[in-house]
């Protein structure tokens, strides 16, 4: 439906909203119950909402009153989630590069690196990888022994390593090596150093297997303390530590001794251990309040308060009992992790957490079915780093916990958890006004946590009792009506329980299917609306009948899957559906409207699949969708439109599958998604995503699963457990981690693994040799909470114009082929939220020149360059000359080639393509030369040298060849005729194809009589020749010949031109043809006329001269010699 077609929402039904909001949640619930009892008709102005909607609609003023006056909040005890929620750890082990799985010792050095001692070597952790240190034979600067017993950072920032078989060593961070302290009479008394501490004067106290040692690093002096009557009870010293008063506490295998660090005076402390047990002390720790905590081998833990020197034994509560008993365990390590928490690491029983003020305890153990639990129950070491993270070394690696994330806690379900929360997945939650919390599971019924209780009681599920027990299927909604009734919607119908959750009863809701899923419940006045896969049904709570009907206005929803129901401040009923968006029913106008996505409007609802709705304290509607993120509908200026504001991944929403929406006491909007939680500040519309670094260990949540508790805490039901949010404890993450260099490579070789040599006093300059050609600096921001989220940037002054930003996957400042010179490399890192640490880490870099980059090399280059320029100029001039010469030769060659081509083309134009003979054009081209020669002969009185004879030859009946055999046969006859003619004439004669089957022979230097012989020879050859045709056929043809000499008149050369002579020869040819063919006819002048009339034409004059016997004609057949 288009937004313009939707009726306006009357957000401002001011009278009704004002009266409803003026009541406290408790008063509103009582009012609803009262209306139900009295059977009030119509819409109740104080209708009860589900828990989250009720709390959300409470005005800020009411919340303030409740916060200031606890009595108004029913004077109930505060929820105590810390007693039952699970401590969440993440782990590091050999899979991450740890040299061995037993983490025996932990320390953080001055730079911020985490050091881990194992039974197989020492490791340094930078948040991304371990750098391991192992003993190297014959190397006095390597780790003295692979079994590390203890680690300690002294007041000067030096890291000391106590080993099992190699004594004591100091890590020299400038040189990345170990400086060993001698053992023996003038050194450490034993090679096993169990524990290390330092006093205010910089001296080290060492617990060894051969007494207590006091070592002065500045002088190398060692003082030994061994067993004595007033001092140590034994030489086997297990632990040593120092309190705030500079008192040294020593634990031995036979008791405790405290030493005045100034006077070294010793005093034994007797623990209240039964006589049948030895006072084997393993660990000692001093808390913030001055309490000294002492761990023993098999007698548990003891503590000594500052105001009472007598040790007291720590008592723990017996399982399933309020009585307490002594702790009889091996307490191997003790560490203060917070002002209100002391962690006792035991051998085989996990960690016992003690509140030093109340002495209350809780235990953390390894759980095989929970990956986020403690890695192992045998704990060797515990440490808290600068950022507040707690590191636990155990027999199976390292477990890391962030205690600062106390605002967000996790509670995992199971079948045998100590807190009794049954189930794995939790689809529903409800926070009752009395502080009780109800949790609906996927198959184990409803778990109920009472105020002050640390164990859930269970409203059990039992399929064998379908009428008075919950089904062993999912619970989707828990909805209170009044103060005495709670409705439970399940996958197999609707159940009703008393407010205490002691019994249930299934409602049949005829004619509705009693086993059909109930996904949503809403009370409006005396009507209870039920939503599920078959639309909306209504139950009249005034009636005693167990029946349900579909209201007439809801018939259109009969095929819709309703996922949630809410009543707006103006009284309208809103319905969320699985695939059809939102529906709004106005009780006053009795109109039902469908609000769904509109592709034409960006302000329409984003997605059809709506999973959660919330009307907040402002009257705004927040809509969570499966795949569409979050939409917000606020009262707008346009009364006929619903315009939504969208929040998605672009607005930092972690995932666009939003499952449940809740509002906290401050008006902030919280939601669960399929990738953690998110909070929206309605004042700024800023989205804050919260994930694993913030304490959200459950990242997948179920639709509509969540509730707000009486104390303002928020519960979200997820995959495997619950997430509890305490919004008042949420603080922005402000830790700014130190930035360190983790590796420096010059030319591919490692030259340093930290920045110690290149910062501070006596800082070195990072030298890049000329032949190295590359520099790679790896760096890390030591924020271990979520190192993958840290950001990085670097800039090389003198080379880079701006910062080059990168992420945790490439923490490298890499450069190659840097020009020689001085540079400053700036490194920058951020915390997990992207806030840059200050100041930048700056390294001085000098790139040395190669020999060819020195001043004398450059002078040589200049001289060489000048010589090369001179040679180049000379060579260039020679090259130009040579190029011109070659170009001239090329032009000449091309000219010759063109001339040859021209001549070839000319020859082609002067020749017949079929026979290869010359053509008419050739005759016109070269006849002048022949004419000139003849004229010269006559001019020189040498006519005997011969005339020109123009002889025309025509193949008789040639057309019949084409007609009978085809043009291809005609071509063959012409080619063979050419061969006959070529055989008959001389090389000096010219044979021309005159046209068609006619040939012209220019016979040079020949007289008339010789021409007759030639004609006869040609005729005879034609007559005797058999022409070979295709396909083996043959034919015979004769020829007709006509000829005439030039000059025609020997004494008047210019009377007839050569063209006229050819015409006379052609005329003779036709005379021969007319006379029967196969003959030749020649014409000769025997006397010259006096004159010729050019206007009369040649033929009439020749005819006249024939008649006057001035011209005669000869033929191979004399009877043909007459002009026609």
- Candidates 73, 76, 56; CA nearest to 65 is 73
d(CA 39, CA 1118): 157
pLDDT higher than threshold 90 for residue 77: no
Confidence of residue 575 (pLDDT cuts 50, 70, 90): very high
What is the structure's pLDDT at 639?
59
Quick one: average pLDDT of 1023-1050? Answer: 90
Do you know the residue count of the chain?
1124
- How far, CA to CA in Å, does 89 sit from each of 226, 364, 375? 41, 11, 8
Residue linked to tokens 């590069």: 97
Quick one: average pLDDT of 223-241? Answer: 93
Which residues are bridge partners to 316 per DSSP?
325
pLDDT higher than threshold 50 for residue 748: yes
Query: Residues 6 or more apart from 299 whose CB is under 8 A from it?
Result: 271, 273, 274, 277, 279, 280, 313, 326, 327, 328
d(CA 219, CA 632): 71
Other beta carbons less than 10 A from residue 349's beta carbon: 18
What is the structure's pLDDT at 628?
94
pLDDT higher than threshold 80 for residue 1001: yes
Q: For the segment 436-449, what is each residue's pLDDT rounded down to a tens digit?
A: 999 999 999 999 99
What is the structure's pLDDT at 428?
97
pTM: 0.71
For a pLDDT cut of 70, what percent of the chain falls above it?
90
pLDDT higher than threshold 50 for residue 921: yes
pLDDT higher than threshold 50 for residue 56: no
pLDDT higher than threshold 70 for residue 239: yes
pLDDT higher than threshold 90 for residue 296: yes
Confidence of residue 6 (pLDDT cuts 50, 70, 90): very low
Residue linked to tokens 């071509």: 971
pLDDT higher than threshold 90 for residue 92: yes
Checking DSSP bridges between strand 351-354 and strand 341-346, what pairing results, if any?
Answer: antiparallel
d(CA 292, CA 305): 7
Other beta carbons less than 10 A from residue 989's beta carbon: 18
Quick one: average pLDDT of 588-598? Answer: 92
d(CA 27, CA 16): 16
d(CA 982, CA 961): 22
Residue linked to tokens 């000869």: 1114
Higher-pLDDT residue of 77, 770: 770
pLDDT higher than threshold 80 for residue 800: yes
What is the structure's pLDDT at 672?
97
Q: For the segment 389-435, what is each residue's pLDDT rounded down to a tens digit?
A: 999 999 999 999 998 878 999 999 988 888 889 999 999 999 999 99
3-class state of residue 449 by DSSP: strand
What is the structure's pLDDT at 739?
96
Q: Does a cis peptide bond (omega within 30 degrees of 0) precede residue 511?
A: yes
d(CA 925, CA 906): 11
Give kind and range of the element (H or E) at residue 238. strand 237-242
Listed in order, strand segments (DSSP E) in 619-666 are 621-625, 629-633, 644-647, 658-663
d(CA 630, CA 674): 13
pLDDT higher than threshold 90 for residue 935: no
Q: Does a cis peptide bond (omega within 30 degrees of 0) precede residue 50?
A: no
Find the Cα–Cα–Cα–Cα dihedral 941, 945, 950, 951, rounded to 10°: 150
Lowest mean pLDDT, pick from 99-108, 135-144, 1024-1033: 1024-1033
For a pLDDT cut of 90, what percent of the chain falls above it?
66
Exposed (0-12), middle (13-18) or buried (19+): which is 79, by Cβ within 10 Å? buried
Residue linked to tokens 């005669």: 1112
What is the structure's pLDDT at 1097?
64
What is the structure's pLDDT at 1077?
92
Lowest mean pLDDT, pick from 126-130, 374-378, 724-728, 873-877: 873-877
What is the structure's pLDDT at 638?
65
d(CA 615, CA 805): 42
What is the structure's pLDDT at 892?
87
Confidence of residue 68 (pLDDT cuts 50, 70, 90): very low
């Amino acid at each position: 439906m288009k937004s313009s077609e939707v009726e306006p929402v009357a957000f401002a039904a001011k009278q009704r909203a004002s009266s409803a909001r003026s009541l406290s949640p408790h008063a509103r619930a009582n009012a609803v119950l009262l209306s139900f009892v009295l059977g009030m008709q119509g819409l109740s102005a104080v209708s009860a909402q589900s828990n989250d909607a009720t709390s959300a609609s409470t005005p800020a003023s009411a919340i303030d009153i409740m916060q200031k006056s606890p009595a108004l909040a029913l004077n109930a005890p505060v929820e105590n989630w810390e007693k039952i929620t699970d401590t969440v750890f993440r782990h590091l082990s050999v899979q991450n590069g740890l040299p061995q799985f037993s983490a025996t010792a932990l320390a953080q050095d001055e730079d911020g690196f985490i050091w881990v001692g194992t039974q197989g070597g020492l490791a340094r952790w930078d948040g991304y990888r371990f750098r391991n240190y192992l003993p190297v034979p014959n190397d006095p600067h390597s780790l003295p022994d692979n079994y590390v017993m203890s680690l300690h950072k002294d007041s000067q920032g030096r890291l000391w390593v106590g080993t099992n078989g190699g004594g004591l060593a100091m890590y020299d961070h400038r040189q990345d090596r170990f400086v060993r302290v001698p053992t023996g009479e003038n050194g450490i008394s034993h090679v096993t150093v169990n524990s290390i501490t330092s006093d205010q004067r910089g001296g080290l106290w060492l617990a060894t297997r051969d007494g207590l040692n006091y070592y002065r690093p500045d002088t190398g002096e060692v003082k030994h303390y061994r067993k004595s009557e007033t001092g140590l009870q034994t030489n086997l010293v297990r632990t040593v530590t120092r309190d705030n008063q500079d008192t040294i506490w020593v634990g031995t295998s036979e008791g405790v001794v405290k030493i005045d660090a100034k006077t070294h005076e010793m005093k034994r402390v007797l623990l209240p251990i039964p006589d049948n047990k030895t006072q084997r002390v393993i660990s000692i720790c001093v808390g913030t309040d001055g309490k000294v905590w002492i761990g023993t081998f098999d007698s548990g833990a003891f503590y000594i308060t500052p105001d009472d020197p007598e040790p007291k034994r720590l008592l723990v509560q017996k399982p399933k009992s309020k009585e307490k008993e002594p702790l009889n365990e091996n307490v191997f390590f003790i560490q203060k992790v917070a002002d209100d928490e002391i962690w006792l690491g035991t051998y085989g029983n996990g960690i016992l957490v003690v509140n030093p003020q109340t002495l209350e305890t809780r235990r953390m153990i390894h759980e095989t079915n929970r990956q986020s639990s403690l890695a192992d129950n045998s704990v060797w070491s515990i440490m808290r780093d600068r950022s507040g993270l707690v590191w636990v070394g155990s027999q199976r690696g390292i477990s890391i916990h962030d205690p600062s994330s106390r605002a967000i806690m996790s509670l995992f379900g199971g079948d045998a958890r100590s807190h009794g929360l049954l189930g794995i997945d939790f689809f529903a939650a409800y926070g009752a006004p009395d502080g009780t919390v109800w949790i609906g599971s996927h198959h184990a019924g409803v778990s109920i946590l009472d105020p002050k209780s640390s164990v859930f009681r269970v409203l059990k599920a039992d399929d064998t009792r379908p009428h008075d027990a919950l089904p062993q299927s999912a619970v989707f909604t828990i909805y209170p009506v009044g103060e005495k009734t709670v409705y439970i919607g399940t996958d197999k119908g609707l159940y009703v329980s008393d407010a205490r959750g002691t019994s249930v009863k299934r409602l049949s809701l005829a004619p509705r299917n009693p086993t059909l899923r109930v996904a949503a419940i809403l009370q409006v006045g005396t009507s209870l609306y039920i939503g599920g896969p078959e639309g909306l049904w209504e139950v009249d709570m005034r009636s005693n009948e167990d029946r349900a009907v579909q209201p007439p206005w809801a018939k259109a929803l009969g095929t819709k899957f309703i996922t949630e129901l809410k009543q707006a401040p103006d009284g309208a009923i809103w319905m969320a559906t699985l695939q059809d968006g939102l529906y709004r029913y106005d009780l006053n106008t009795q109109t039902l409207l469908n609000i769904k996505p509109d592709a034409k409007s960006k302000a329409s609802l984003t997605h059809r699949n709506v999973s959660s709705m919330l009307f907040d304290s402002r009257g705004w509607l927040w809509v969570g969708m499966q795949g569409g993120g979050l939409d917000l509908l606020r009262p707008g200026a346009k009364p006929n439109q619903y315009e939504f504001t969208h929040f998605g991944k672009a607005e930092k929403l972690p995932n666009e599958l939003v499952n449940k929406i809740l509002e906290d006491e401050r008006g902030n909007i919280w939601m669960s998604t399929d990738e953690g939680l998110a909070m929206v500040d309605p004042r700024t519309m800023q989205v804050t995503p919260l994930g694993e670094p913030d304490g959200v260990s459950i990242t997948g949540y179920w639709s509509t699963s969540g509730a707000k508790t009486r104390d303002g805490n928020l519960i979200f039901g997820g995959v495997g457990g619950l997430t509890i949010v305490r919004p008042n404890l949420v603080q922005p993450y402000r830790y700014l981690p130190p930035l360190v260099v983790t590796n420096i490579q010059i030319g591919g070789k490692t030259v340093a693994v930290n920045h110690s040599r290149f910062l501070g006093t006596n800082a070195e300059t990072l030298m890049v040799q000329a032949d190295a050609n590359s520099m790679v600096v790896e760096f890390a921001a030591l924020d271990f909470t979520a190192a993958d989220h840290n950001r990085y940037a670097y800039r090389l002054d003198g080379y880079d114009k701006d910062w080059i930003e990168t992420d945790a996957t490439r923490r490298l400042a890499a450069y190659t082929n840097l020009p020689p010179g001085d540079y400053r490399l700036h490194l920058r890192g951020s915390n997990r939220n992207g806030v840059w640490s200050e100041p930048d880490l700056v390294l001085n870099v000098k790139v040395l020149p190669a020999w060819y980059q020195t001043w004398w090399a450059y002078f040589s280059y200049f001289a060489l360059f000048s010589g090369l320029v001179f040679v180049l100029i000379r060579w260039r001039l020679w090259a130009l000359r040579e190029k011109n010469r070659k170009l001239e030769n090329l032009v000449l060659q091309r000219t010759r080639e063109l001339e040859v081509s021209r001549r070839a083309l000319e020859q082609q134009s002067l020749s017949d393509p079929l026979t290869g003979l010359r053509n008419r054009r050739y005759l016109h081209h070269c006849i002048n030369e022949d004419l000139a020669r003849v004229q010269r002969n006559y001019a020189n009185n040498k006519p005997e040298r011969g005339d020109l004879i123009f002889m025309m030859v025509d193949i008789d009946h040639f057309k019949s060849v084409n007609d009978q055999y085809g043009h291809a046969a005609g071509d063959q006859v012409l080619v063979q005729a050419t061969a006959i003619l070529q055989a008959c004439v001389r090389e000096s004669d010219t044979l021309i194809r005159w046209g068609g089957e006619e040939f012209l022979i220019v016979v040079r230097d020949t007289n008339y009589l010789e021409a007759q012989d030639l004609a006869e020879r040609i005729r005879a050859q034609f007559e005797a020749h058999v022409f070979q045709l295709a396909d083996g056929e043959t034919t015979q043809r004769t020829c007709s010949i006509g000829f005439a000499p030039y000059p025609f008149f020997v004494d008047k050369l210019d009377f007839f031109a050569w063209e006229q002579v050819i015409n006379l020869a052609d005329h003779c040819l036709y005379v021969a043809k007319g006379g029967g063919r196969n003959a030749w006819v020649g014409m000769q002048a025997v006397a010259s006329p006096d004159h010729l009339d050019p206007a009369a034409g040649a033929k009439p004059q020749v005819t006249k001269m024939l008649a006057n016997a001035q011209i005669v004609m000869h033929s191979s057949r004399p009877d043909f010699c007459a002009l026609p």
